[in-house]
Structure 1
């Protein structure tokens, strides 16, 4: 597996052209691979995520607020056309790292900072699609989207830590009955939410996504490894499902 980070320059028109359409960006990412090479590489799929800076666009002492495009893939990509259109043709503009060694070193009890963009959905029992299947609907509130991710943590080999687990100054927290629950704050926050519409074939698609930052502890290294390789949830072709880890 390979993990690629591409800095995109928000001052270039190409960056905005790619960012405006998940379909266009998906096509550009898939064009990083020669025909047939992904099929030969096995079952692992290409995942990607576009991270935008939280601060308003503007230059500071640390340089421009670049957008970061992450690509997880079973073979090394050639993103030269993305760099030419929207990136930085300088050292550090693109970093491609072999990821298998990192995945193999994951162990139970390790703690990592994480970021993940997800498409939280559920099936409505009393609504059916044209094929007679339960209709897939999107969670739209922040609490619903967060709970969707928390509900899938155990089966995917991780637990979101609480403030007490990390020590330091604990925020004061009360439950619904007014009782103190200091240290129970989950170390996770939503940093971006969006709803986008686009056409796919002959239908109109509405895609709801939410991006979360947090701190996790590995509870099942094999399950977490599978998540990092295969993603989580739906809409993986459109920038959802990729989790990346970093030092907390």
Structure 2
């Protein structure tokens, strides 16, 4: 796996038309030409920025091409990086649940509901979260225009400490991302190894 920081200054952002999540989506996809029909093999998280520019974190199975605008800094993710027991984490998710009756996807809203939703979801992803460490922020909706229509994604950022309970599932969650709308910058599990437990 390759971790890349994509750095864009103000002129780059203007040239790429980075006005919304769809603009960021297109800028990142341009770094990864069609892969013999294999589909998307990368994840990204918009780290935001300020008046001067922005940064986008990318995790991929292959190196991105050199961009026309901005600069990339690529580093191999060491195999041992995923062998720790405890991590601090941050992940931006599209929190939805499927309604049993209608089969429609329903947005999960409200801090307490989001907190409970993520704690229940985590074990299936190979880890458990220390409940008292879990913070939910930046709750809202990402809106963007595509094909002449306005579209939206429910969004929330989850930050906390986790303990790995199923190493294989955890590695899959890291490599493939978690949740829905990964093509639009959701689901990249950003990790920092911790040397002690989460108590």
After TM superposition, the score normalised by the length of structure 1 is 0.67
In structure 2, list runs of 5 or more residues that go unmatched: 195-199
Q: Residues 15 and 201 (structure 1 numbering): CA distance in 2 closer, same or farther, change over 3 Å?
A: closer
Structure with bigger strand share is 2
Which residue in the other structure is 2:191 paired with? Answer: 245
Q: What is the alpha-carbon distance in structure 2 between the residues aligned to residue 20 and residue 194 of structure 1?
A: 17
Q: What is the alpha-carbon distance in structure 2 between the residues aligned to residue 20 and residue 203 of structure 1?
A: 15
**Residue 79 (structure 1) shift:** 4.6
Which residue in the other structure is 1:15 paired with? Answer: 13
- How many pairs does the alignment contain? 193
- Deviating beyond 3 angstroms after TM superposition, the runs of 4 or more aligned structure 1 residues are 13-19, 199-204
**Residue 19 (structure 1) shift:** 4.7
Residue 80 of structure 1 aligns to a residue whose secondary structure is coil
Residue 27 of structure 1 aligns to a residue whose secondary structure is helix
Q: Residues 79 and 71 (structure 1 numbering): CA distance in 2 closer, same or farther, change over 3 Å?
A: farther
**Residue 188 (structure 1) shift:** 1.7
Q: Residues 205 and 102 (structure 1 numbering): CA distance in 2 closer, same or farther, change over 3 Å?
A: farther
2:42 aligned with 1:46 = yes
Q: What is the alpha-carbon distance in structure 2 between the residues aligned to residue 155 and residue 24 of structure 1?
A: 32
Q: What is the alpha-carbon distance in structure 1 between the residues aligned to residue 187 and residue 17 of structure 2?
A: 19
C-alpha RMSD of the superposition: 2.7
Identify which of 91, 95, 117 aligns with 2:73. 95
Q: What is the alpha-carbon distance in structure 1 between the residues aligned to residue 168 and residue 153 of structure 2?
A: 30
Radius of gyration: which is bigger?
1
